[in-house]
């Protein structure tokens, strides 16, 4: 268990240095490694979607809905993010469909709503 936590922290710290949306100006090696790291991170952190969706739904639609609907949205996103992680990890050397993230946002801890980031920065 300790090794799994250590590996997750290590991969997540490496992912912080990889741009979420690699553009075409990056080298092929950067795009391949970015896809591999993103896949491993999403595979190991998909569970973050459950509390995140409770928070997201609660913030945007009210806390009662967040507590009632959020866990279901979170479980769905957990499976989606984990499957995306498997696909990106398995196909990292191939541009299938591209080297861009399969999900938006690319990582579970990034905001879905750009306006949320702008509002938080202005406070």
Q: What one-character DSSP code corresponds to residue 21?
A: S
At a CB cut-off of 8 Å and minimum separation 6, what does 17 contact? none
At 3-21, the pLDDT tens digits run: 665 556 555 555 555 555 5
Res. 43: pLDDT tops 90: yes
**Over the stretch 57-91, which tens digit does the pLDDT of each residue have?**
999 999 999 999 999 999 999 999 999 999 999 99
| Average pLDDT of span 100-108 | 92
Q: Is residue 42 a contact partner of residue 107, using CB atoms and an 8 Å limit?
A: yes
Q: Per-residue confidence at 107, pLDDT binned at 50, 70, 90?
A: very high
Domain boundaries, the chain: 28-122
């Amino acid at each position: 268990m300790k090794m799994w936590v250590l590996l997750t922290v290590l991969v997540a710290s490496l992912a912080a240095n990889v741009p979420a949306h690699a553009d075409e100006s990056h080298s092929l090696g950067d795009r391949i490694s970015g896809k591999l790291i993103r896949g491993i991170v999403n595979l190991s952190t998909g569970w973050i979607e459950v509390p995140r969706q409770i928070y997201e739904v609660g913030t945007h639609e009210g806390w009662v809905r967040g507590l009632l609907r959020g866990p279901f949205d979170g479980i769905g996103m957990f499976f989606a993010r984990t499957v995306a992680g498997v696909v990106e990890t398995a196909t990292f050397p191939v541009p299938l469909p591209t080297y861009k993230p399969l999900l938006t946002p690319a990582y579970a801890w990034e905001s879905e709503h750009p306006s949320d980031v702008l509002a938080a920065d202005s406070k």
